[in-house]
Amino acid sequence: MENFNETSLRDDVKQAVAQLGFTTPTPVQAKTIPAILGSDRDLIALARTGTGKTAGFGLPVVDGIDTELDAVQALILCPTRELCLQISRDLTEFARFRKGVNVVAVYGGASAGDQIRAIRSGANIIVGTPGRTLDLINRKKLVVDQLKRVVLDEADEMLNMGFQEELNGILDATPREKQTLLFSATMPKEARKISTDYMNDPQEISIDHTDAGNSNITHLYYKVKGAHRFSLLKLLVELDPDMYAVIFCRTRREVDGVAEDLRFAGHAADALHGDMSQAQRDDVMKRFRKGRIKLLVATDVAARGLDVSDLTHVINYNLPDAPEVYVHRSGRTGRAGKEGVAISIVTGREVRKLRDIERYGKIEFTEAPIPSQEEVYRRRALRFVTSVKEATMSDQKLLSLMPEIVDGLADLDREALIQQFVALSLSDFSQQVGSSRPVEAGSDDKRERKSHDRRSNVSYTRLCMSAGRRQGYTVPQVIGMLNKNLPGKKIDLGKIDLQNNLTFIDVDSTEASRVVAALAGVQDRGNDVELRIYDGQAGGNDDGPRGKRPRNKYKTGAPSPGSFAKRDKKKHRKGQGK
């Protein structure tokens, strides 16, 4: 199958395909569409995210609907609300010229009543998440006794998320005579059991990772010290102002922290994770798709169903534990024949994970040199020069004011005029890059282990600073403030616990007194920096019991004068908990 006209799809479906701009089918589409249309045999398709599998099953599903039959004829199950909505939008587009084909999405976190009314209005294709779908079937609001096709999309992810019982319940309720299509990136034993219990002699199709469009993706990695991840990320973002990226973090707390620090640095960034309400997640996704957000910081689960064809980068702030997850992530860029870049930020000890990914995905990583602040500064400045040369004047009001503008600048010679123009235009960027923390390359495994072993014996003293998030601080900025006011050899820093109105900083005990003395009377960011040795009490406004360190990183409080007298010594690895 070299083009969609070679298939037995209906003419009105082919018309939609042509209008959507589909020309050459992807490998998964070329194999699955003829297989689904050519027989009623069940199908297992192993293909990663981003290979075009939605059209692979969606076009045959839309094609097979009998508009004379007032019943639900196809059910598509997927792991998340976001993916559910994306698939329903795609199928609605595929059915744009098929009158009487109605697609309804059912998912948790939204009104079940509205979804039930939509089903009653004549739904013949249901796209649903397992929990809400089973609930509607059990309540007899969703009748599935006339189903022709059931699709399990991203089956491995649904099983990883704990939907085994829901899937069993749904499949038990469906007719025996139907076509079941299982799409998955991997085939864990739970998915294999579903195929054994609920599928009849399925045909298996595997789309090799080298057939999945990876040739459009450049895989890079930067090796840094663990404490310098964000500093590198910030440099990379500033190096490429046109970056439109998803940044993957391991935890929800880390997602929030990275997104906040990027916003504080002046970048259009926001967070996406499971602790957010559905309304918040929908709002973030809407703004990201429209390009109002350029950097989406997300967890893997929250990003399921994200389908944005113009992504320039995928950035792994942390490498995933499983190689197949990396393949899922990187597949979100380099789509529709466009070039994409997948970047991984790793420490020396994590390089071996890259080798596992290379073997699994049949890809090749290239180590990229860490950009310097000077290089970022130079490239941005020269890019600005190019943009000035290519700019056009189209505003008629400004054109009419040009004589007055020229007259107002007449006393400046050419060189002075250019200098003033550049100073005004690049002043904010100069401040951004100038405040960036230098990034150090990571060591190899052996050297890094020795460094960790050495630091594990460092004794730390806890200091408390009378400023925190509400005064505009982030962890990188606290480190920068300390380095700026402590000339000479840099001290060992331990955990930095940033709260709303104060910050706890663990420093090498042998340097604690020097740090306090160096910052006495210092003003930073418009604040009087009061830094004292912490005695276990943070004053009357602290949310925790007096004499105990607050457990919650985000609780508020302010230190009371004179309450820092004793040293609270702790031993742990440098940078732990940052």
Using the 3D structure, point to which of 370, 402, 425 is the last residue of a domain: 370
Identify which has the larger pLDDT, 522 or 578: 522
Q: 549 pLDDT exceeds 70?
A: no
Look at residue 497 and tell me if it is in a domain: yes
CA atoms within 13 A on the CB side of 458: 26
In this prediction, residue 433 has a pLDDT band, given cuts at 50, 70 and 90, of: low
CA atoms within 13 A on the CB side of 6: 11
Backbone phi, psi, residue 389, to 5°: -65, -30
In this prediction, residue 459 has a pLDDT band, given cuts at 50, 70 and 90, of: confident
Same domain, 12 and 149: yes
Under DSSP, is residue 182 helix (H, G, I), strand (E, B) or coil? Answer: strand
Same domain, 63 and 153: yes
Same domain, 228 and 354: yes
Residue recorded with tokens 């993957």: 248
Cα(348)–Cα(441) distance, integer angstroms: 9
What is the model's pLDDT at position 444? 56
Residue pair 197/207 in contact by the 8 Å Cβ criterion: no
Q: Between β-strands 459-465 and 531-533, what pairing exists: parallel, antiparallel or unpaired?
A: antiparallel
Look at residue 291 and tell me if it is in a domain: yes
Same domain, 170 and 38: yes
In this prediction, residue 1 has a pLDDT band, given cuts at 50, 70 and 90, of: low
What is the model's pLDDT at position 451? 46
Question: How many domains does one find in the chain?
Answer: 4
> What pLDDT digit, counting tens, does each position of 115-171 carry?
999 999 999 999 999 999 999 999 999 999 999 999 999 898 888 788 999 999 999
Same domain, 468 and 510: yes
Q: 101 pLDDT exceeds 50?
A: yes
> What pLDDT digit, counting tens, does each position of 332-342 carry?
787 666 788 99
What is the model's pLDDT at position 13? 94
> What pLDDT digit, counting tens, does each position of 257-299 carry?
999 999 988 889 999 987 888 788 888 988 998 899 999 999 8
Same domain, 472 and 513: yes
Identify the CATH number of the domain in which residue 537 sits: 3.30.70.330
What is the model's pLDDT at position 558? 37
Identify the CATH number of the domain in which residue 218 sits: 3.40.50.300
Average predicted confidence (pLDDT) for the chain: 81
Q: Mean pLDDT across the stretch 453-471?
A: 73
79 Cβ partners below 8 Å, 6+ apart?
A: 129, 130, 154, 157, 158, 161, 163, 304, 305
Same domain, 399 and 505: no
Look at residue 517 and tell me if it is in a domain: yes
Cα(154)–Cα(307) distance, integer angstroms: 14
**Which of 18-27, 191-200, 453-462, 508-517 tops mean pLDDT?**
191-200
Look at residue 518 and tell me if it is in a domain: yes
What is the model's pLDDT at position 47? 80
Neighbours of 402 (CB within 10 A): 10
Same domain, 89 and 114: yes
Cα(73)–Cα(89) distance, integer angstroms: 18
What is the model's pLDDT at position 122? 92
> What pLDDT digit, counting tens, does each position of 2-51 carry?
678 888 899 999 999 988 877 778 888 999 999 999 889 999 998 876 67
Q: Between β-strands 365-367 and 459-465, what pairing exists: parallel, antiparallel or unpaired?
A: unpaired
> What pLDDT digit, counting tens, does each position of 290-301 carry?
899 999 999 876
Identify which has the larger pLDDT, 397 or 91: 91
Same domain, 53 and 117: yes
Taking Cα atoms as reference points, which of 443, 542, 2, 483 lies closest to residue 223?
Answer: 443
Token reading at 141: 């609001």
Same domain, 48 and 185: yes
Strand partners, 313: 245, 341
Q: Mean pLDDT across the stretch 346-351?
A: 88
First to last CA, the chain: 52
Using the 3D structure, point to which of 320, 355, 370 is the last residue of a domain: 370
Cα(410)–Cα(100) distance, integer angstroms: 69
What is the model's pLDDT at position 194? 92
Residue pair 176/170 in contact by the 8 Å Cβ criterion: no
Same domain, 364 and 386: no
Q: 391 pLDDT exceeds 60?
A: yes
> What pLDDT digit, counting tens, does each position of 463-499 carry?
988 888 788 787 777 877 887 788 766 677 777 887 8
> What is the DSSP annotation of 1-38?
--SGGGS---HHHHHHHHHTT--SPPHHHHHHHHHHHH
What is the model's pLDDT at position 102? 96
Look at residue 12 and tell me if it is in a domain: yes
Q: By percentage, how much of the chain surpasses pLDDT 90?
A: 35
Cα(262)–Cα(295) distance, integer angstroms: 9
Look at residue 577 and tell me if it is in a domain: no
What is the model's pLDDT at position 57? 95
Identify which has the larger pLDDT, 386 or 491: 386
**Which of 214-223, 342-351, 480-489 tops mean pLDDT?**
342-351
Using the 3D structure, point to which of 207, 236, 262 is the last residue of a domain: 207
Expressed as residue numbers, the domain containing 113 is 4-207
> What is the DSSP annotation of 290-313?
TTS-SEEEE-TTTTTT---TT--E
Look at residue 447 and tell me if it is in a domain: no
Same domain, 500 and 532: yes
Look at residue 137 and tell me if it is in a domain: yes
